Copies of this chain bind each other. A is one copy, B any other.
Amino acid sequence: MSSLTPTARVILGMLKLGVTTGYDIKKVIDFSTRFFWTASYGQIYPELKRLRKAGLVRAEQVPRGKVKRTVYSLTPKGERALHDWLTDNQEVLFEIRDESLLRLFFSDQLSRDEVIANLRMQEQIFGLVLERFRELEVGVKEGVAEGRVYPYVALQYGLEFMTFARDWYAEKARRLEAGEELVELEDDEAARGEARLGPAG
């Protein structure tokens, strides 16, 4: 398996895309991968130094005027490490931390109106993110002609996912507002016993 630290992965990838300084890497992350992969200065700068010590990147001082500025690039070893990671299919990391889902999970504690409010809020949040993605789309699509196809493909995933999530919450909210149940019990017995069964205790 790849021995690169999480932050090293974005860094090497960004260097390969021609992003050269720690500052720029952070900037590019913040309008591209940020929705599924972030990094802060507090990680990027130390990691660049570690990568340099490990021989995966080389550093060059290229000051702009009197502002010191370190330009990084991949060494052959770094290129190899990047490629190895990109093609390594042992255990791929996938993590979601979604507080709204956790709240949904516990929503039997809430009144119908409270649940509706939460669902509508989620609909709105995902809608806003979707809008942000749409704004990105133009710029990212321009990159396609220059060979940066996959950032656009990844963005498509984001657009579709956000659309799915927004619509899912909207639909559940709509049903609750219409007085429908979110879950229909198939079995008649349980269906007759409907309504106000409190949780276990």
Measured CB to CB, the residues of A under 8 A from B are: 9-10, 13, 16-18, 32-33, 35-37, 82-83, 85-87, 89, 92-110, 114-115, 117-118, 121-122, 125, 141, 144-154, 156-157, 160-161, 164-165, 168, 172, 182-183, 185, 187, 190, 193, 196-201
Contact = CB atoms under 8 A, between A and B. Distances in A.
Query: What is the oligomeric copy number?
Result: 2
A17 B200 contact: yes
Given A89-B117, A95-B98, A153 B183 contact: yes
Q: Which of A37, A122, A185 has the largest number of chain B CB atoms within 10 A?
A: A37
A13 B94 contact: no
- Chain A contact surface mostly: helix
Of all A-B residue pairs in the complex, the 7 with the closest CB atoms, nearest first, are A147-B197, A18-B200, A93-B99, A145-B190, A18-B201, A107-B150, A13-B106
Contact of A97 (B93, B108, B147): B93
